[in-house]
Amino acid sequence: MLLLLQKSNELNEYMESLPSFYNPVYISVLIFILVAAIIYISYRFIYNPMIKIHKEEQKQFEITTEKILAMFSDLDPNPIMRINSSGLITSLNKSAIEKFSYLEINKSKLNSIISKVELNIKEIIQNDKTFILPLELDDRYYDINFHGISFLDMAQLYFWDTTAQKEYDRQMTNYQNLLRNSSAHLQKVIEEERNRLSRILHDSIAQNMLLIKLNVSNYKKFLDNGLEEAEYLRTINILDSTLNDIRELAHNLKPLNIDELGLETVVKSMCNNVAREAGYKYQLQFPEGSLKITKEVEVCIFRVIQESLNNIIRHAKATSFTINLFYDDTTLVLFISDDGIGFKPKMLLNDKYISDGLGMMNMQESVEKLNGTFQIDSSNNSGTVVIAAFPIQQSSEDEKSSYKNISG
């Protein structure tokens, strides 16, 4: 009995030595185990699947983005290429393949095109940098839109062709310079013309009129004794000389009167003068009968012929020229040609002809103001053809096909 009691006491002491369920240490251990189990289960069965799904979605997004980029790249008329962080060309659209036929995908590098510019391609891609790089390639000008795409580990280059814009800017600069020079030249010509008119009026006409006045004042002295014939003839000669000076002055200020003489007569007179002074042969062809056109069209035709003949005299080195005015359905066509050395016409992007002077542009603008069309056909050593067409209403078929042919 005593032995059993002793063993019971030992058992109680042993049980008391074991940790209690309510012991804080025991509870902490249990909580740690529980939290660890929850974290493990969450990581294994929730987080990992979510990360996997996210990676798959990101990869699918990258693939979709690449497909969209490739689709739009192929549709774009401008060259587009993509490169990786090492500068290797990984993609070219159709336009880029045609433009850079010597490049090979996954073999050629960007420096085979852009060699004069230092680029840190890896940094550009990692930082999603975007910038525009102007560059000249094969006599063409481009603004290259360089765009880094870090999540695709690539950069896309968009080649925007600015050659036409630069040519337009260059032509506009030349045109502005030409206008400034022409304005200065015009002012000089106006001043010279004023001085010339002043000299003619003062030195010739004014003096002649003074002499006539003196002669007329002296007539009273000879009335009783009779006027001598020599004195009379001298006065008549002075009057003739004065009238010639006035006619020349008026002719220089304004060409022959088209209203009184008619367009054909004025043009024929001008052609005869040119042929006589420069030794040209010419053919002049006009429709039979009166021209049923407005005053504005008549003056415009005269000015175009006048400027064309001036150009033939100054530049063409021709031996003959032809002027043909004829009806074509509801259009009046002026055709001027020569057999000279020709030239290469320059034209602005707005279809305006341009030269060292303003002659061609003035002709074109005067024709187009009347809803007409203007064209120059010329090349080196092939002569020059000027064509001006005016829309009109023509009722008689005979007037379209009947011409007067004048040769000189």
The pLDDT assigned to 347 comes to 67
155 in any annotated domain: yes
6 in any annotated domain: no
Quick one: 138 and 196 in the same domain? no
The pLDDT assigned to 402 comes to 43
Among 144, 161, 178, identify where a domain stops.
161
Quick one: 249 and 304 in the same domain? no
18 in any annotated domain: no
Pairing of strands 281-287, 140-149: unpaired
Quick one: 267 and 387 in the same domain? yes
* Average pLDDT for runs of 10 along the chain of length 408: 57 54 67 82 77 72 63 70 90 85 89 83 90 86 88 86 84 75 68 68 64 63 59 69 67 62 88 87 88 86 91 89 89 93 74 64 86 88 91 53 51
The pLDDT assigned to 26 comes to 67
Enclosing domain of residue 317 = 257-407
Quick one: 261 and 402 in the same domain? yes
Reported as a single tens digit per residue, the pLDDT across 293-319 is: 888 898 899 989 988 998 898 888 899
Total-model pTM: 0.46
Tokens for 370?
Answer: 């009347």
- Rounded Cα gap, residues 337 and 119, in angstroms: 57
C-alpha closest to that of 168 among 180, 156, 159, 176: 176
Return the CATH number at 366: 3.30.565.10
177 in any annotated domain: yes
Quick one: 94 and 199 in the same domain? no
Pairing of strands 384-391, 373-378: antiparallel
298 in any annotated domain: yes
Return the CATH number at 96: 3.30.450.20
Among 197, 224, 254, identify where a domain stops.
254
Among 145, 161, 177, identify where a domain stops.
161
Quick one: 261 and 171 in the same domain? no
Q: What is the C-alpha R_g of the chain?
A: 47
Cα angle 130, 132, 134 (rounded to 5 degrees) comes to 155
Quote the number of domains for the chain: 4
Quick one: 125 and 197 in the same domain? no
The pLDDT assigned to 69 comes to 58
Quick one: 70 and 80 in the same domain? no
Quick one: 317 and 180 in the same domain? no
The pLDDT assigned to 154 comes to 86
Largest pairwise CA distance in the chain: 202
Given its phi and psi angles, is residue 26 left (phi above 0), alpha (psi -120 to 50 degrees) or beta? alpha
